[in-house]
């Protein structure tokens, strides 16, 4: 099995190795014997990227309230770990979390909140349009491109679960379910 993104030697090999992880273990012992973490972990851009990946790429993330989405096409946007996302109610009233980045040239599709006009998110750059499930529906001028199949293109999606009216998303589609991890907290609600 391939390493998780936060464990990737290609991405973080310069700052995350066995020696580094062993040295950090010294900061997790009883306070009387603990050592400070090395100063570079507070200023290293690469370490910061590692920490973000270690937390956000492997955790369920609260992305807002489901009741903000009243009807199909309603959406709001959030940015998590530098990743712009669209939280949307699709035409079957399922809540989805889609990438807000056009798959053609990487332009931002929408910002803020609203209702998708005619059930489509349209890129303002070349007018590629995606439906509420993230499927590419229109790609002007691409019919002249050899081997172009719009059915093969869609916006990346997060795994989604609703809990107590909150929308949660996870970048890992194989992540274990959210609800069992919140069992004790559910008793508080």
- The Cα-based distances of 103 to 108, 114, 127 in angstroms read 10, 21, 12
User: How confident is the model over 134-151, as a mean pLDDT?
Assistant: 87
pLDDT band (50, 70, 90) for residue 9: low
Average pLDDT score, the chain: 88
User: How confident is the model over 110-127, as a mean pLDDT?
Assistant: 94
42-75 per-position pLDDT tens digit = 898 888 888 888 888 889 999 999 999 999 999 9
Is 90 exceeded by the pLDDT of residue 189? no
Note the pLDDT of residue 8.
53
> What is the percentage of the chain residues whose pLDDT exceeds 70?
92
172 Cβ neighbours under 8 A, 6+ residues apart: 4, 57, 58, 159
Is 70 exceeded by the pLDDT of residue 92? yes
User: How confident is the model over 124-148, as a mean pLDDT?
Assistant: 90
Note the pLDDT of residue 100.
97
Query: Which one has a higher pLDDT value, 38 or 1?
Result: 38
């Amino acid at each position: 099995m391939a390493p998780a993104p936060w464990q990737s030697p290609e991405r973080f090999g310069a700052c995350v190795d066995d020696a580094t992880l062993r040295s950090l273990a010294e900061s997790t012992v009883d306070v009387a014997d603990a050592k400070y973490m090395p100063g570079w972990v507070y200023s290293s851009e690469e370490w910061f990227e590692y920490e973000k990946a270690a937390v956000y790429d492997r955790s369920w993330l609260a992305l807002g309230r489901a009741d903000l989405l009243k009807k199909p096409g309603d959406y709001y946007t959030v940015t998590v770990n530098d990743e712009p996302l669209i939280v949307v109610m699709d035409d079957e009233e399922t809540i989805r979390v889609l990438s807000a980045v056009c798959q053609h040239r990487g332009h931002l599709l929408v910002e803020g909140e609203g209702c998708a006009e005619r059930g489509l998110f349209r890129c303002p750059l070349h007018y590629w349009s995606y439906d509420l499930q993230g499927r590419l529906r229109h790609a002007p001028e691409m019919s002249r491109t050899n081997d172009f199949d719009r059915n093969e293109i869609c916006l990346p999606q997060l795994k989604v679960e609703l809990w107590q009216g909150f929308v949660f998303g996870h970048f890992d589609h194989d992540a274990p379910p959210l609800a069992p991890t919140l069992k004790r907290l559910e008793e508080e609600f």
